[in-house]
Structure 1
């Protein structure tokens, strides 16, 4: 098998071509917290084993890319790839987004103990919706048009208290009615992040990133669609 010239090769990161090996390694270190995650997500073919071995040797000395370095990249597509590797959590924590809406929902849900016995859990669940001005991420166009803002919903795992940031589109953040004033809604935004493929569900269970939807007698399979705020508040039976 012909040996690859790793230094001369052109690399794609986050579906964007044109990165050198040193650039790609820094982006991989930024995107994947561990060497194991890098290997799982990048080294997917035996032909890439040589690259994987090289990155493994260098891993501890590779410096992740910073937010400020991302702004020095003039190529917009490359900048998008860099932002993708940096991730929503770091971007929104460092760039001072605007808080649009915060809602605290008191929940009373069923959970199961270590003996698989059900019990009721009462707690407050907090959701925050943020907007980050597009001009903070990308330059204004030559015609003076500012880039569109970016929205994210912030929430916390109700079991571990781990913080999560999730990108949401403008229609989830502000509503999709073009003839009325935008209405930021953090709960509508978090509901949008869940998709189901049946009508008239009976209950919804969430364990981490896994969503389980219980059918009702009237359920029919349909094209996947996002939950509404009303469905989210009424159907979430258990969350852990």
Structure 2
């Protein structure tokens, strides 16, 4: 019985890694769309978001089988419940990457050079998602805690973007609507960072039984 449970838990790990990789792809694709404004790449973001949704359903099914067909002990139960919480955050990451890609068509190309810190936010967000999932797979609380600290960097970058956009609106008030769209894109990246923190916090719960 325990061997079967361990096999299912290993499958859960594998599928979480795959879902995390899809989230990384979605964020990276969305950031590239912001720069290239490539329509085919924008559609690719939507396809990635749909794959993330399918993976969420697959992992939910694995978790339910573990709960109904196996006899997980307390530590296993924490791990399974944490995984179910994590995939909800990953699904939202996919949604927000898709939202970013959709907003690009409303942003005038000439405003984009001022979005340097948005590109940095995107890279930081990808790293946070990668590390949050890695902390779960490795059962490494130090990595999870590092993700929580990395959120400060994303928040600081968001504040820089806000300052840049305020200055741009003052300089070119006719670009106000476009600048607000750009600010919303930055906000989505900030939210992605928040979801990565949530994932890391559920990793800590799976290891300690305590949730921040």
TM-score, length-scaled by structure 2: 0.26
Is the strand fraction higher in 1 or 2? 1
| Higher share of residues assigned helix | 2
TM-score normalised per structure 1: 0.24
Q: Relative contact order, CA 8 A, sep 6+: which one is greater?
A: 2
